[in-house]
Structure 1
Amino acid sequence: MLVLSRFPDQIIRIGENVMIKVVSIQGDKVRLGIEAPKDIEVHRQEVWLKLYGENEPDQGPSDSAA
């Protein structure tokens, strides 16, 4: 895991198409703005877990039939 320190208005880039900007920091709350292509899903962890559980997004629900 890469850990970075950033100040408001600073940007982190992931590849050529994803940009994460620190919008604001208030106490222990950080607001981030994320720009990514429409084909890349961006979710909070708790939303992702509700959508996919422990399955990878492209795998869909696992088939447990033996």
Structure 2
Amino acid sequence: MLALSRKKNEALIINNNIEISVLEIKGEQVKLGISAPKEIPVYRKEVYLQIQEANQESVSMDGLEALKNLLG
């Protein structure tokens, strides 16, 4: 993991097309702005993990059995 220090109104550039800017700092909370192409999904980690969990559940054996039953 790369750890960098940034101040308010400073930014990082990733892969020439993603910019992460520090918009505001209040106590222990930091507000970030992310500019990325529309085809690149950007999620909060907790939302990403929920999506991954739901995807895993959908391909579980129960999900496959349900799909088989649905398709006959």
Same fold (TM over 0.5): yes
Identity %: 44
SS of residue in 2 equivalent to 1:40: coil
**Structure 2 CA distance, aligned partners of 1:63 and 1:6?**
41
**Structure 2 CA distance, aligned partners of 1:27 and 1:63?**
42
**TM-score (ref. length: structure 1):** 0.80
Aligned residues: 60
SS of residue in 2 equivalent to 1:41: coil
Q: CA RMSD in A?
A: 1.8
Shift, 1:64, TM fit: 5.4
Shift, 1:52, TM fit: 1.3
User: How big is each residue's C-alpha offset from its partner over 1:15-34, in whole Å with a ceiling of 9 and x where there is no partner?
Assistant: 11100000010000000000
Structure with max Cα Rg: 2
Q: Select the structure that is richer in helix.
A: 2
The gaps in structure 1 that reach 5 residues or longer are 54-59
- 2:12 aligned partner: 12
The gaps in structure 2 that reach 5 residues or longer are 62-72
